[in-house]
Amino acid sequence: MLSGLGAAAAAGFYYYTKYNLPKVLALENKVKEGTASEREPGSYVDGLPVYSSGDLAKHADESTGVWVSYKSGVYDITHFIKSHPGGNKILLGAGVSVEPFWNLYAIHKQPNTLALLEEYRIGNLTKGEEADAMINMSDPYANDPQRHPVLTIRTKKPFNAETPTSLLVENFITPTEFFYVRHHFPVPDVDLSSGDYSLEIISDDEKKGLSLNLDQLKTAYASHSVTASLQCSGNRRSEMNRTKPTKGLEWAQGAMGNAVWKGVRLRDVLLDLGIKDSDENEHWHVEFEGLDIDPTSAPYAVSIPLSKAMDPRGDVILAYEMNGETLTRDHGFPLRVVVPGTTGARWVKWLTRIEVARNESQSHWQQNDYKSFNPSSDWDKVDFSTAPAIQEMPVTSVVCDPQDGETVELKDGKLKLKGYAWSGGGRGVVRVDISLDSGKTWHVAELLDPVKLSRQWAWTRWQANLPVTAKETEVWVRAVDASYNTQPEGMEHIWNMRGVLAVGYHKIKVSLKAD
């Protein structure tokens, strides 16, 4: 049923156990050639001690110190572990080369990550052993689907790419092939004809379970369609990075789209399982597991509150269609969860298991990612348990056309602006305001798509046509939702080290040509 990933996971364990040579004590060494920031990461540095892969294998936990290799470099990362954005998954690479893991978690292969690693440099790997790391390691991404070239790629492996915003605003419904893609791992490849695929549904409380294949699911429950916008928690992160760098994909404003999703109501399935509408279980959670797995074979998994899943007006569905077509592999074929009003991280793709439980998911993605902190938190002192997992998202708005830095020709002395606005929790956008003078005066934009005050899962696009005489101007946009929440003015006060929820006013500078 799956291809590529099983091999990768096996390779991870292979390198974790392959080397088992006598212990060698590490000497404290100084790098003698160039500084960490000047060197080509992983290059051989004359004058540093040389360690074999066997030496490395002896430093695989905190009692001995945690060493890793990258190309020809050996690194003692013991003191970095607690700062690792991915939590203690870093220990998978303890005592071995990080390369097979980074092949999977390709986000690491960025200059700043490599430079950071180089600061922990203690030695060189025995010459000739560098290539061993990749022996038996096939490319787990080789079977990923083809994508439309218009997407702006942020990382190729795993594949993460967004829609150019000028294209986004053209359609209320984002065409599937232009829809942003956000993956953590290689894309599972489900062959329904094999009969291997099933959805398991269990309840901790009821000690009951259901197991359904896709046909059974479609037959057993009425279909329900929902028009809902999907947004990555990290959408607009690149704007936040201007305040101070964060860790994550460098999204512009296109990690968002709007689609028609068709599937069955999760509520109906859970009622069948014996779950009740009740005050007693409302703070329970429903965990979703995907077929996408990390190198330890742990699946991507997260959870949402049971109250959202059971709310007849919550519109949570298990979707098998997107925009009138069978789901594509990139969007979760054969089944994905659609949690309207909630961050994309909870819309689990390639859904294979649902569990109703008293507590929320204990997965990495629920506990140690997709959370926000105040701007004075950093990786050294953050305690992820103090913040709730992002579920409903705050109100946001974006100018899609023109784009930041563009030169625009005025028409009748007016600047035409177009964009989108959205808020979480089904709270419709009731007003979009534009300022061309840094907030001194505000113009109300026209909303282009119908908006309900509640149960409004789709975005609304907006436009404005404003007279302007200056040769350049900064455009500010901000939205107000049905609860009259609005956006913070800047990114400074909502800055967080993970770069999520970048919902400050969108501010762009444009040059203007009179007509």
Residue ranges binding a copy of itself (CB under 8 A): 277, 279, 282-283, 305, 307, 311-313, 372, 374-376, 386-388, 390-395, 424-425, 427, 430-431, 433, 439, 441-444, 452-455, 478, 480, 482-490, 492-494, 501
Helix (H) / strand (E) element for 112: namely helix 111-118
Q: Amino acid identity of 367?
A: Q
Residue linked to tokens 């010459």: 127
Nearer to a copy of itself, 298 or 444 (CB): 444
Q: Which one is catalytic: 39, 59, 108, 237?
A: 108
User: What is the smallest separation between the CB atom of 268 and a copy of itself, expressed in angstroms?
Assistant: 14
User: What is the smallest separation between the CB atom of 483 and a copy of itself, expressed in angstroms?
Assistant: 4
Nearer to a copy of itself, 344 or 394 (CB): 394
Report which DSSP code applies to 175: P
Distance CA 366, CA 283 (A): 15
Nearer to a copy of itself, 308 or 364 (CB): 308
User: What is the smallest separation between the CB atom of 113 and a copy of itself, expressed in angstroms?
Assistant: 27
Q: Which one is catalytic: 232, 236, 346, 505?
A: 232
Nearer to a copy of itself, 209 or 467 (CB): 467
Distance CA 265, CA 318 (A): 6
Nearer to a copy of itself, 275 or 351 (CB): 275
Strands 407-409 and 506-513: parallel
- 370 as an active site residue: the answer is yes
262 phi and psi, to 5 degrees? Answer: -125, 135
Distance CA 249, CA 499 (A): 9
User: What is the smallest separation between the CB atom of 297 and a copy of itself, expressed in angstroms?
Assistant: 31
- 353 as an active site residue: the answer is no
Peptide bond into 158 cis (omega under 30): yes
User: What is the smallest separation between the CB atom of 85 and a copy of itself, expressed in angstroms?
Assistant: 19
* Structure-block tokens of residue 193: 């004809």
Question: Which residues contact residue 475 at a Cβ distance below 8 angstroms, ignoring those fewer than 6 apart?
Answer: 399, 415, 417, 434, 435, 436, 507, 508, 509, 510
Q: Are 474 and 429 in contact (CB under 8 A)?
A: no
Nearer to a copy of itself, 352 or 435 (CB): 435
Question: Which residues contact residue 483 at a Cβ distance below 8 angstroms, ignoring those fewer than 6 apart?
Answer: 427
Question: Which residues contact residue 369 at a Cβ distance below 8 angstroms, ignoring those fewer than 6 apart?
Answer: 85, 86, 87, 345, 498
User: What is the smallest separation between the CB atom of 419 and a copy of itself, expressed in angstroms?
Assistant: 16
With vertex at residue 104, the alpha carbon angle to CA 100 and CA 106, rounded to the nearest 5 degrees, is 105
Distance CA 346, CA 288 (A): 8
Q: Which one is catalytic: 182, 353, 478, 498?
A: 182
User: What is the smallest separation between the CB atom of 445 and a copy of itself, expressed in angstroms?
Assistant: 10
Nearer to a copy of itself, 146 or 376 (CB): 376
- 84 as an active site residue: the answer is yes
Residue spans of beta strands (DSSP E) within 168-279: 181-182, 199-203, 208-212, 223-231, 256-265
Q: Which one is catalytic: 105, 197, 320, 370?
A: 370
- Residues in the chain, how many? 515
Distance CA 61, CA 94 (A): 7
Residues serving a catalytic function are 84, 108, 182, 232, 370
